[in-house]
Structure 1
Amino acid sequence: MQTSLERQALKEISNQEKSNVKASTTVKVKELKRVSSDYSDVGYPYTEERGRLTAREQINEQFKEILFPYSSNEKSILEEAIDLTFHEIESDEEETSPEDILEDTEQESSYIDETEVESYIEEKLKIDYEADTTVSVEYAKDIFCHMKHLENRLMPDYGYLASRPFHVLEMRTVVISWIIGIHYEMNLLPETLFLATNIFDRFFSLKNVAISKMKQIAMAALLLASKYEEIHPPSNKEACSLLGEGTVGDLCKEETYILIVLQYELGWPGPMPYMRLLSISDGWDADMRLAVKYFLEICMLDPRFLSQKASQTVATCAYTAYCILHNGNWSGTLHKLTGYHCANVAPFMHLLLECLQNPAENHRCVYAKYSTRISRYISQRIHEWIRMNIQVSSPGPYM
């Protein structure tokens, strides 16, 4: 039996141990908090003025042998990668003129742009076509024929141009230019832009649209096209804020009305499948792809090209790009895939060259879009070639 004095002594010893544990725990927590705040970017580090290293320096000293297992005179792989990255960033910041690109068009750029991504996709497609049986190459001819059928059936009625006054057609060009800017701002796919223009023109050919409503109809067409083509389309709220007028409900009503008028037919293939097929077959370089895209958007702005099918427009742009960039040396693949000889599209090539002569008047927004470094200044280079090599007489007003 323990006496009362023994029990009291044991109780005091227990309390003392508890207080010691609590005190040591408190000290440890404070130390961890100090290290945590010391490691942060906005903390109050314990500098060498107080006779100790910062927590970041302590960690670096601990793991120095792991992170940098080389001598002080040698650089680790990590350090070399960092130096290379900074070198590339500094080289990107140097100014580059169109003349520099003209002198060495074969030099690879140090940034990733759309042309490099498309080149990778095309190489991937080549491998997939040979190795993947799910691509169903045996049905390629049927798919191609179906695309031809759709591009014929879902063309806008070109006859409506004759019943529209000239200022309405001019307003169409202004609205399409605005849509190109919105499309570029939203970073959407090229297919979305061409499908939006097709939806707008088909609706415009079936219904009389007031000039005050053309901008809203164009935005609704862009939303429909993005929901058809994009994985993550922009929201109606975002589109309404860019439009600057109306409400989200108004845009939804306009989308519904357009779908009813067009009978929910949005399967127009557009020019991009033909362009990519030609690019894979003929092995186009980055300049060729950018030039054809530039020409396609110019054709989209001018109502005189509405009478062309999508495949015919691609043939026109491809032949023109070959004439400018490769002195007219095109392969027989171009005729086989599009079905058009150069003579078949010569009048539209003449019309396209006319549009290229005065970019400030005909297609200022597209010219600015393709005069950036990421587009390899292709519009400036083509305009310089047009100015120095060719003079085109105007074929006249809208047909």
Structure 2
Amino acid sequence: MRSTVSNENEYRLARSRKLESSSSDREAKALADVSNQYGVGAGTTGKSDKRKPLGGDIAPLPQTNSKPNVFSSELVPARMPQKRQATESSTNLIGKLHSETSASHKRSRKIDYEWQDLDEEDADDPLMVSEYVGEIFAYLGELEYKTLPQQYLHKQTHIKPKMRSILVDWLVEMHMRFRLLPETLFLAINVMDRFMSMEVVQIDKLQLLATGSLFIAAKYEEVFSPSVKNYAYFTDGSYTEEEILQAEKYILTVLDFELNYPNPMNFLRRISKADDYDVQSRTLGKYLLEITIIDYKFIGMLPSLCSAAAMYIARLILQKSPVWTGNLIHYSGYRAAEMRQCVDLIVQYLVAPVEHDEFFKKYATRKFMKASVVCRSWAKKAVQEGRDLFASELQTTRPQ
């Protein structure tokens, strides 16, 4: 009886070892199949032959502030510390953040003007979030520098300023055809400019880049975004739906999915609060502000600065006196002297011949109070008469 039990135990042990061996073989084979499928095997050391959707075989632009490769073996310590390092308390971090924010975003650092707390009247309206509005715009001021495109046309050897002008004008036409929000156009051009600041784009892919940028911006800003079929149809069959989707993925990958862009319209609305929400100056300001994204000379200028300069010229055109007050200094963050370069560039654009036809026609309609016609006629007259747009009598440090 004992010999029978012993033989049975030996049989079970041998059978168990055999099953474990076959199971491990199957697991190793399955892992090998997955490695081959996703390119983890030995064949992945070579470069992929797949072309980029927008850049072709051209290498990306050199970056001055290039990030280190976090996957490099040099950055990985030989032995991980056994004990977790102590960190700052949350209270200290919050205090440090507030101190840095308040120090870096006071553009008009010396408070030598009078201003009124216009947010106080909105204290009972929870939608206006008056208790947080200061911190919100301080955060937007920080984002301005993170999402600011660099002047890239001197690096993009294939692209000339005239090409960008044609591309942006076509983008404005598509934006109008789809009846999208103004914020969508601002974000689309910012995405396009930031991408070209980082990657070289072939000439025959520029339209695809503009289409993909507007496609991304509409998804981010609109409640109901047009489908990819509409974009493919608007390109007259130049690009398929699949190509637009691939371009979308590639653009977002290059930008690291960073779409938290402080839209210039937010700053213009903030400044309009100090302008008593005047409809006429707001409409002219929209046209003047849109010039700063249409013309390539404004690439690299802060959105808040462009918004303040647009409101300054709008009030000049409407002959408001004084043009720039203490409230406008406070809620825009800029004095008149700090806007001189931006104001001069806008006036130069208005005096020059019409370069962007679709953009001009858009604001020549009654819907926009014929802003493009009014602003151009004023600028030509002001230049002919040699007016001083920054005369001291046009400015005051008082609230009104």
Q: Bin the TM-score by the shorter chain.
A: 0.5 to 0.7
Partner of 1:389: 382
Aligned counterpart, 1:171: 163
How do 1:141-290 and structure 2 match up within 5 A? 141-158=134-151, 160-165=152-157, 168-244=160-236, 245-290=238-283
Give 1:228 shift.
0.3
Aligned mates of 2:193, 2:360 — CA distance in 1: 22
1:294 partner letter: Y
- What is the identity, as a one-letter code, of the residue corresponding to 1:351? L
Aligned partners of 1:290, 1:182: CA distance in 2, in Å? 21
| Displacement after TM superposition at 1:165 (Å) | 4.2
Structure 1 counterpart of 2:324, which letter?
Answer: W
Q: 1:168 to 1:259 in 2, by over 3 A?
A: same
Contact 2:270 2:332 in 1 (8 A): no
Q: Which has the higher helix share?
A: 1
Equivalence for 1:370: 363
| In the alignment, structure 1 residue 353 sits paired with structure 2 residue 347 | yes
Match of 1:330 in 2: 324
Give the 3-state SS of the residue equivalent to 1:151 in structure 2.
Answer: helix
Once residues 144 and 295 of structure 1 are traced to their aligned partners in structure 2, the CA distance between those partners, rounded to angstroms, is 22
Map of 1:317 onto structure 2: 310
Alpha-carbon distance in structure 1 between the residues aligned to 2:277 and 2:319:
11
Deviation at residue 239 of structure 1 after TM alignment: 0.7
Distance 2:195 2:138 in 1: 25
Distance in 1 between the 2:363 and 2:268 partners? 18
**How many aligned residue pairs are there?**
267
1:147–1:269 CA contact under 8 A, matched in 2: yes
**Contact 2:324-2:336 within 8 A present in 1 as well:** no
What is the rounded CA distance, in whole Å, between the counterparts of 2:329 and 2:125 in structure 1?
28
SS at match of 2:233: helix
For 1:139 and 1:178, locate their aligned partners in 2 and report how far apart those are by CA, in whole Å: 39
Displacement of 1:126 after TM fit?
8.4
Shift of 1:392: 9.8
Contact 2:143/2:261, CA 8 A, preserved across alignment: yes
1:247 CA displacement: 0.9
Q: CA deviation at 1:134?
A: 6.0
* TM, length-normalised to structure 1: 0.63
Query: Paired residue for 2:336, among 333, 339, 342?
Result: 342
What is the letter of the counterpart of residue 332 of structure 2?
A: T
Residues 284 and 136 of structure 1: CA distance in aligned 2, closer, same or farther (over 3 Å): closer
Pair 1:262–1:335, CA change in 2 (3 A): same
Which consecutive unaligned segments of at least 5 residues does structure 2 have? 1-117, 387-400
C-alpha distance 333-359 of structure 1, shift in aligned 2 (>3 A): farther
2:298 partner amino acid: F
- Is the CA contact (8 Å cut-off) linking 1:367 and 1:379 kept in structure 2? yes
Equivalent AA in structure 2 for residue 335 of structure 1: I
Q: CA RMSD in A?
A: 2.3
| Structure 1: segments with no counterpart, 5+ residues | 1-124, 394-399
Which residue in the other structure is 2:296 paired with? 303
Change beyond 3 A, Cα 1:145–1:298: same
Q: CA separation of 1:166/1:381 partners in 2, compared to 1, >3 Å: closer, same or farther? A: farther
Provide Cα deviations, 1:265-300, integer angstroms capped at 9, x if missing partner.
Answer: 000012011111111232142221111111112111
SS in 2 for 1:269: coil
Per the TM alignment, residue 135 of structure 1 is displaced from its structure 2 partner at its CA by 4.6
Aligned to 1:4: none
8 A Cα contact 1:173 1:302, kept in partner: yes
Q: What is the CA–CA distance in structure 2 between the aligned matches of 1:338 and 1:284, rounded to whole Å?
A: 14
Note if contact 1:282-1:331 (Cα within 8 Å) is conserved in structure 2.
no
Amino acid at match of 2:194: R
CA–CA separation in structure 2 for the residues paired with 1:296 and 1:351: 12
For the Cα contact (< 8 Å) 1:359–1:367, is it kept in 2?
no
Shift of 1:237: 0.4
Give 1:317 deviation, angstroms. 1.0
Work out whether residues 168 and 211 of structure 1, in 8 Å CA contact, stay in contact via their aligned partners in 2.
Answer: no
Secondary structure of 2:274's counterpart equals helix
1:164-222 C-alpha deviation (Å, 9 max, x unpaired)? 34852221111111111110111100100000000000001100001110111101000
- Secondary structure in structure 2 of the residue aligned to 1:266: coil
Report the 3-state secondary structure (helix = DSSP H, G, I; strand = E; otherwise coil) of the residue aligned with 1:366.
Answer: helix
Q: In the TM superposition, what is the alpha-carbon distance from 1:128 to its structure 2 partner?
A: 9.5
Aligned partners of 2:385, 2:341: CA distance in 1, in Å?
A: 12
- Tell me by how many angstroms 1:359 deviates: 4.2
